[in-house]
Amino acid sequence: MVKKLRFSKIDLVERVGALMLVTFLDDTGDMYQWAPKWADVEQIFLKQINIERYNKPESEWLNKFAKTAQNVVEGAQRIESAFKVSGRFQAIRDQKLIFEVERGELKGYEYDLIPGFEVTLDFLDNWLNNYVEALVVNDIIIRLRTYDNDGEVEREYPQPEPADMPW
The answer to which of 21-25, 71-75, 110-114, 124-128 has the lowest mean pLDDT is: 71-75
- Region of poorest pLDDT, from 2-6, 13-17, 47-51, 112-116: 13-17
- pLDDT (tens digit, 9 = 90+) per residue, 107-121? 777 888 889 888 888
Q: What is the CA radius of gyration of the chain?
A: 21
DSSP lists the bridge partners of residue 32 as 24
pTM for the complete prediction? Answer: 0.53
User: Angle 130-152-118 (CA atoms, 0-180°, nearest 5)?
Assistant: 45
- β-pairing, 110-115 vs 140-147, is parallel
Average the pLDDT over each of 53-57, 99-103, 144-148 and give the range with the smallest value. 53-57
pLDDT-derived band at 15 (thresholds 50, 70, 90) equals low
Evaluate whether 142 touches 136 at the Cβ level (below 8 Å): yes
| Cα–Cα nearest to 130, from 96, 107, 154 | 154
Strand pairing category for 31-34 and 96-100: unpaired
Q: How much helix, strand and coil, in percent to the nearest 5, is found in the chain?
A: 30, 40, 35
pLDDT at 75 over 80: no
Confidence of residue 164 (pLDDT cuts 50, 70, 90): very low
Domain range list for the chain: 1-35, 83-164
Distance CA 153, CA 148 (A): 6
Q: Is the pLDDT of residue 160 over 70?
A: no
Residue 110 near residue 99 (C-beta atoms within 8 A):
yes
Say which amino acid occupies 87.
G
Residue 45's pLDDT is: 86
Identify which of 17-21, 40-44, 77-81 has the greatest average pLDDT: 40-44
CATH of 83-164, one of 2.60.40, 1.20.120, 2.40.50, 1.10.8: 2.40.50
- 27 Cβ partners below 8 Å, 6+ apart? 3, 4
Q: Among 24-38, 70-84, 88-102, where is mean pLDDT lowest?
A: 70-84
* Average pLDDT of the residues in 100-129: 84
